[in-house]
Amino acid sequence: MHDVPFWLWIVFVVIVVVSLAVDLFAHRAAHTIGFREATAWSAAWITLAVLFGGVVFLVVGTDAGVEYTTAWLLEKSLSVDNLFVFALIFGYFQVPRAYQHRVLFLGVLGALVFRGLFLAAGVAVVSSFTAVLYVFAAILFWSTYKILKGEDESFDPGRSVAVRLLRKVIPVRDEYAGPHFFVKEAGRRVATPLLAVVAAIEAADLVFAVDSVPAVLAVSSDVFIVYTSNAFAILGLRALYFMLAGLLDRFHYLSYGLALILGFIGVKLVLQATHETVSTAVPEIPSLVSLAVIVVVLAVSITVSVLRPPAEQDENA
């Protein structure tokens, strides 16, 4: 655990609250977010995350700074899978582009809350029962296997538990009503499909947390490091989606890169658990090495995807 001053927690909370308020104010009117606007916002979120990482380096120390950077980059790379699912959900519910940011904004709020709970629980479990790292490693190995076998695209928005529960709690009409989540029909309050989309987005994030939480806990067991890195990755997720919308299929080798990263983190967890529960002679993988591996794998995956486009695109070129 790192010695994190309480004021740094306050600074983090203020940054998140102000950032969300600015983002909400800037997009208070429903409109379609284009590539240029999304790129500007994405650059802003990345800059904010990097600047905060610099503060962590200066205030908490080099080790904490490396862990934060590694965890943030890991979470950022894993979030690409979320983008594919967002596209699937929006396509399934035929969400107008002008309302998509509103949905993702609420999805981010939910993700900040649920990830915080999961990460806090994960840190508590690891602190009291180190052997659970073997279970986390098994989860990551299974995820790696599914991605490599092409079995990772199993999320069905219409059959999501959250969506089905929503339909049992409140009637959901078939037509959208602008950016509204609720309308009155025949004197009763009913939900619009936009609320069902929010439920599907939240359900998807819970699914991805199964991979994300064990992976980030392999980098650090410090609550401040794992949560702040997750939060900054999540904050930039909306802008990243709109920036890459329509381009996701071009990064067809990225999934293999993510599989390699998850497998590597799984090995890191096994070594860490063995080092702490069996013998200290078993070496651990330093965070700096993890950071280097993640950067190299992502760079190679993206470069190869650009240089070798999918067969269909190559034929149409």
Please write the tens of the pLDDT for every residue from 207-253.
Answer: 778 778 888 888 888 999 999 999 999 888 888 888 777 666 677 78
pLDDT band at 308, cuts 50/70/90? confident
Q: Who contacts 94 (Cβ-Cβ below 8 Å, separation ≥6)?
A: none
The mean pLDDT of 6-11, rounded to a whole number, is 95
Q: Are 191 and 176 in contact (CB under 8 A)?
A: no
CA distance 66 to 234: 19
User: pLDDT (tens digit, 9 = 90+) per residue, 77-116?
Assistant: 887 777 777 877 888 888 888 888 888 888 888 888 888 8
Domain count, the chain: 1
**pLDDT(155) > 90:** no
Task: Decide if 212 is inside a domain.
Answer: yes
Q: Which residue has the higher pLDDT, 299 or 29?
A: 299
Q: Mean pLDDT lowest for which of 22-26, 87-91, 313-317?
A: 313-317
Task: Decide if 88 is inside a domain.
Answer: yes
The mean pLDDT of 286-312, rounded to a whole number, is 84
Q: What is the pLDDT of residue 317?
A: 46
The helix (run of H) or strand (run of E) holding residue 189 is: strand 188-191
CA distance 208 to 224: 21
Task: Decide if 1 is inside a domain.
Answer: no
β-bridge partners, 182: 191
Six-digit token string for 27:
């997009």
**pLDDT(196) > 60:** yes
The mean pLDDT of 158-176, rounded to a whole number, is 78
Q: Which residue has the higher pLDDT, 25 or 72?
A: 72
Q: What is the pLDDT of residue 225?
A: 93
Q: Are 227 and 113 in contact (CB under 8 A)?
A: no
**pLDDT(44) > 60:** yes
**pLDDT(8) > 60:** yes
Domain that holds residue 42: 6-316
User: pLDDT (tens digit, 9 = 90+) per residue, 46-82?
Assistant: 999 999 999 999 999 999 999 999 999 988 888 777 7
Q: Which residue has the higher pLDDT, 154 or 125?
A: 125
Q: Which residue has the higher pLDDT, 162 or 229?
A: 229
Which of 7-16, 139-148, 151-160, 201-210 has the highest average model confidence (pLDDT)? 7-16
**pLDDT(315) > 70:** no
Q: Are 205 and 107 in contact (CB under 8 A)?
A: yes
Q: Mean pLDDT lowest for which of 18-32, 45-59, 120-134?
A: 18-32
**pLDDT(135) > 80:** yes
**pLDDT(313) > 60:** no
Task: Decide if 188 is inside a domain.
Answer: yes
